[in-house]
């Protein structure tokens, strides 16, 4: 019997994380007693509480914790939390304590798991696969790393035959999964604090790919060396599955999709960027192999609304355009910048970027500087530390990074000052970008641009 079935209560330490909250929603939807802790009250934790989940925001051992029985309670934690009194209490009192990735892996053991991995593209691809599964009415549950604009959630239950999961390479979490179908979108350098160098990252993805049984399907972006048999996918070049004949009409992209045996013309897609057509290509390949018909898939591709904070775009009557994006790696920022410059080549672009992690800023400083130099004006926020301590990264600051950016108009700002600085600028397009708490500016900016 799966260990998860022996517990009625699930306590989440760090419940407000995007991956943790999806698991919390899964157990809550399964009729379990779900509660947890997070250090910050956010829109996401508010939504969880509205769904009936009890959450505290102070590291206190109160009756809600001391009344829990270890025989009936599974404690789930995120590796982003290093030290916490609540977590110490559970460990000292011999509760079963598991990492988030281990629990997600246990869930996938009892399903046909569709796992989407890659340093870039996995959130969009996994969310699109889930959307296509829903439109095709397949019996599935999904655990996503972003908030689907179609579902308004990072979790959806539509049955339990299939599970659609975002396979996270951080902390080698994806090696806990039991994938039956899998995708590798990219193996670029990232999380060097965990892997050390690109060779170990690539080896991690090869280990993940090896988890897929030989009689199941593995899809890999053409050109990646993954070390075992697989199906390839690509855009504008032949592969086992590929898309070509891309045309833009206003904000829509049209493309043709090729399987090994047929061509389906004129898919309509509203998510900008060739990299996102790649994501759509492999999602279509998976659903085609699951038996979905192309009429259904065409309609589903056309009505996919994307993911919150993945190129979330607003066009206002006053002519201003506001785009918000989660990009936190130079490759991702380049993709966003390229999309903006393709659609709006002559508009003045103001970028507000919040670097995420001192280690990532240090490791990719030149790449960040190159990508940010494509703006017309830059506001560079202080580095968001997440799990890191600044004293361990002497000299790694936003001012240090700003010196590398080749722009006439550039400055450093705290998060609290950024909104006022934005209001003083002249721009046609505003891009806020980063994976920290820069998202707290989203609502104030939307309200302000609407009024000007």
Binding-site positions: 118-124
Total count of residues recorded for the chain: 452
Task: State the Cα–Cα distance between residues 54 and 59, nearest whole angstrom.
Answer: 14
Bridge partners, residue 220, by sequence:
184, 232
- Please report the sign of the dihedral spanned by the C-alpha atoms of residue 220, residue 221, residue 227, residue 228: positive
DSSP string computed for 94-159: T-EEEEHHHHHHHHHHTSEEEEEE-SSSHHHHHHHHHHHHHHTT--EEEEEEEEETTTTEEEEES-
Bridge partners, residue 116, by sequence:
166, 183
Q: Tell me if 206 sits within 8 A of 345, measured CB to CB.
A: no
DSSP string computed for 233-273: EEESS--SEEEEEEEEETTEEEEEEE-SS-EEEEEEE-S-S
Task: State the Cα–Cα distance between residues 101 and 90, nearest whole angstrom.
Answer: 18
Helix, strand, or coil here: 300?
A: helix
Q: Tell me if 436 sits within 8 A of 411, measured CB to CB.
A: no
Bridge partners, residue 148, by sequence:
153, 307
Q: Tell me if 421 sits within 8 A of 411, measured CB to CB.
A: yes
Q: Which residues are annotated as a binding site for ATP?
A: 118-124
Element (H, E) at 3: none
Task: State the Cα–Cα distance between residues 74 and 450, nearest whole angstrom.
Answer: 46
Task: State the Cα–Cα distance between residues 245 and 266, nearest whole angstrom.
Answer: 9
Any residues with CB less than 8 A from the CB of 382 and at least 6 apart, and which? 354, 397, 398, 412, 413, 414, 415
Q: End-to-end alpha-carbon separation of the chain, Å? A: 60
Q: Tell me if 212 sits within 8 A of 180, measured CB to CB.
A: yes
């Amino acid at each position: 019997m799966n260990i998860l079935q022996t517990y009625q209560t699930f306590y989440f330490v760090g419940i407000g994380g995007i991956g943790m909250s999806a698991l919390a929603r899964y157990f809550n939807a399964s009729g379990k007693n779900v509660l947890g802790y997070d250090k910050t009250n956010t829109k996401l934790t508010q939504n969880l509480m509205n769904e009936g989940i009890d959450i505290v925001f102070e590291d206190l051992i109160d009756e809600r914790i001391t009344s829990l029985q270890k025989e009936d309670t599974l404690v789930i934690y995120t590796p982003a939390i290093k030290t916490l009194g609540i977590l110490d209490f559970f460990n000292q009192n011999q509760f079963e304590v598991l990492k988030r990735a281990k629990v997600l892996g246990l869930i996938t053991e009892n399903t046909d798991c569709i796992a989407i991995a890659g340093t870039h593209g996995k959130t969009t691809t996994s969310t699109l696969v889930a959307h296509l599964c829903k439109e095709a009415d397949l019996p599935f549950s999904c655990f996503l790393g972003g908030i689907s604009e179609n579902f308004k959630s990072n979790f959806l239950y539509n049955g339990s035959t299939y599970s659609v999961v975002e396979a996270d390479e951080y902390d080698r979490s994806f090696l806990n999964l039991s994938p039956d179908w899998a995708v590798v979108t990219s193996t670029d350098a990232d999380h060097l604090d965990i892997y050390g160098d690109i060779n170990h990252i690539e080896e991690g993805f090869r280990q993940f790919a090896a988890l897929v049984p030989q009689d199941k399907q593995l899809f890999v972006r053409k050109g990646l060396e993954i070390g075992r048999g697989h199906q390839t996918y690509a855009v504008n070049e032949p592969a086992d599955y590929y898309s070509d004949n891309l045309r833009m009409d206003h904000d829509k992209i049209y493309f043709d999709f090729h399987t090994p045996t047929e061509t389906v013309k004129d898919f309509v897609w509203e998510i900008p960027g060739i990299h996102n057509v790649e994501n759509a290509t492999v999602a279509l390949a998976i659903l085609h192999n699951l038996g979905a018909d192309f009429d259904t898939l065409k309609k589903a591709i056309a009505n996919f609304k994307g993911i919150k904070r993945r190129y979330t775009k607003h066009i206002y009557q006053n002519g201003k355009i506001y785009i918000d994006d989660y990009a936190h790696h130079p490759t991702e920022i380049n993709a966003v910048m390229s999309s903006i410059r393709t659609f709006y080549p002559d508009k003045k672009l103001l970028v507000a970027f919040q670097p995420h992690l001192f280690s990532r800023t240090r490791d990719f400083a030149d790449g960040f500087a190159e990508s940010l130099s494509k703006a017309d004006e830059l506001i560079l926020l202080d580095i968001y530390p997440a799990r890191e301590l600044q004293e361990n990264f002497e000299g790694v600051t936003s001012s240090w990074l700003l010196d590398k950016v080749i722009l006439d108009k550039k400055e450093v700002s705290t998060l609290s000052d950024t909104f006022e600085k934005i209001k003083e600028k002249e721009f046609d397009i505003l891009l806020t970008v980063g994976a920290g708490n820069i998202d707290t500016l989203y609502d104030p900016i939307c309200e302000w641009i609407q009024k000007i």
